[in-house]
Amino acid sequence: MNLHDIPVTTIDGRQTTMGEFKGRTLLVVNVASQCGFTPQYRGLEHLWREFRDRGLTVIGFPCDQFGHQEPGTDAEIAQFCERRYDVTFPMMAKIEVNGDGAHALYQLLKREKPGLLGTEAIKWNFTKFLVGPDGTVEKRYAPNETPEEIGRELAKRLGT
């Protein structure tokens, strides 16, 4: 299956596919509201605002598979993101990223760009994937790689 053919649901319940983002560079992130990395929402929003007119879309996928750090409903998550971090980048409905219930998008991302020592599993919240405009999975970033660090790469790639 091509990345752009994968169905997704927005955080407000709208059914679509990743094809909605075809032709854009994507930064796909599994997010959580009660994680030590949660303040990265601020940096992710900054990347979205800085680079969206140059072809970047940041997409958040809430996930509750790591330490029960995303316990809320989609509506609660959306409200938290808006109120606490002024998130305006696209957010999707809560998904699983590992195991038998892993979303098709994450199955593809992990297969295309495995992590350290070739392991496919997502190890924690705020793992990030860079996807090219054609749907090619180009890079995987660990949770501790900050949006600010990624922004330096994006500036070179997308222009400053």
| Positions marked catalytic | 35
Length of the chain: 160
Question: Do strands 25-31 and 56-62 pair parallel, antiparallel, or not at all (unpaired)?
Answer: parallel
CB atoms within 10 A of CB 2: 12
Closest CA to 147 of 22, 54, 53, 60: 60
The Cα 133–Cα 18 span in angstroms is: 11
Q: How many CA atoms lie within 13 A of 72 on its CB side?
A: 16
Q: If DSSP codes are grouped into helix, strand and coil, which group holds residue 16? A: strand
The Cα 33–Cα 81 span in angstroms is: 8
- Supply 75's token pair: 């509506």
